[in-house]
Amino acid sequence: MLSTTVRSFTTTSSTLLPRIAHSSLCAVRNFSTRANNTNTTNTTRPLANSNSLPTQTLRTLSSTSNKMGLTDWASKDGSFKRQVSSFRDHIEPNGKFPAEKGRYHLYVSYACPWAHRTLIVRKLKGLDDFFDFSVVHPHLLEGGWHFETPEDAAKPPAPWSEHSNKTFPGATADKLYGKTHIAELYKKAEPEYSARFTVPIVWDKQTETIVSNESSEIIRDFNSAFNGLLPEGSAERELDLYPESLRGEIDALNEWVYDGINNGVYKCGFATTQEAYDDAMDNLIKSLDRVEEILSDGREFLVGGRLTEADVRLYTTIVRYDPVYYVHFKTNWGQIRHDYPALNRWLKNLYWNYPAFKDTTHFDHIREHYFYSHTQINPRRIVPKGPKLDIEPLGAEKRKAEDVAGSNKAAKV
């Protein structure tokens, strides 16, 4: 089926240009208190002998950055600031972290748009058999992202949710070490790490350290680093999401989409002043209108008539827009399905016609994470039922037009 998905994509050089990456950090993060150094510490010293950490240890792991309220990371003018990724190495054929089957492990949240990018590209590039992944629970609590354990799976549902504090369909245990929290992996990689504990993470099992926690760079590594190990002539090997001939156009689009939309929804949701919210919302509206105009000519993809990383990066925000951001982040100027017909068509095409997008989109994790975790925005943790449809079926816009035409005809009668 993937061959059908990528049949029209062309092949160009997979050489990576120098990358100026935006943050890959899910939920809300401050700027890092750790130096943005690409030389990570390759230590194998374990954080703790026990997989189940006491409360005091978890509080220590959380550090001040994880215990403060999410909106406390706003600047003095009330605008939201995002933490810069700290681990910035790369998987490269002849580099420090070479491309090898079975060497790496991916840590993700199904709820997180930044981690979602990596899952889409992993599937598009046919890397399912090259490395496995572990999925954290959607509830982001005081100790940070946490995993399920066999003991947790046996617990009954908690009274405030249909799921217990840790059990949730699709969430997994830490498949490598049996750790309970993402924080433990950061401390295993670098004991002095003091910034926020974020996903996604690419973990090197050989040196037992974090290769990267920057999604924009991870997806470029996945796009090209393993090509030499994929079957020659296969659609997955031929697929290039960052073709050399389109890099300038892709980079330019990524820049304003990130600022106005990917990060823009967070700047709206976590603004602490009316002025900061208004500025962020104005930029979001302008950016959505700009995308709508680009897609209004009926094109299937954003750049170059082919699927690129630009589509992947925008998709993970837009697919969350109506179910979550429209209400939770107060981005209610318009809904994608009702007010942006070209963008809605683009979204539905990716979701329904390309399995790598649909199969990695988990609306239950997405909704549960945002509404339950962000108590500064939703203090009673009430998770809404709507919208009735997380995403519309293909052809819905045609049926709407027919309904309108039918109503007009009936009115005339």
Q: Indicate which residues carry an active-site annotation.
A: 112
The span from the CA of 167 to the CA of 78, in Å, is 35
Residues pairing with 151 in the sheet: none
CB 367 within 8 A of CB 323: yes
Residue-by-residue DSSP string for 13-37:
--PPPP--PPP---S--PPPSS---
Residues whose CB falls within 8 Å of the CB of residue 389, separated by 6 or more in sequence, listed in order: none
Classify the C-alpha dihedral 217-218-224-225 as positive or negative.
Answer: positive
Element (H, E) at 210: strand 209-212
Measured CA angle at 270 (ends 269, 275), to 5 deg:
90
Query: How far, CA to CA in Å, does 307 sit from each of 274, 299, 344?
Result: 38, 11, 16
The span from the CA of 387 to the CA of 4, in Å, is: 31
Single out the residue of 391, 368, 384 nearest to residue 110, CA to CA. Answer: 368
Judged by phi (left if over 0) then psi (alpha if -120 to 50, else beta), residue 126 lies in left
Cβ neighbours of residue 326 under 8 Å, at least 6 residues apart?
332, 335
- Please provide residue 45's backbone torsions phi and psi, each rounded to the nearest 5 degrees: -70, 120
Closest CA to 24 of 214, 187, 264, 168: 214
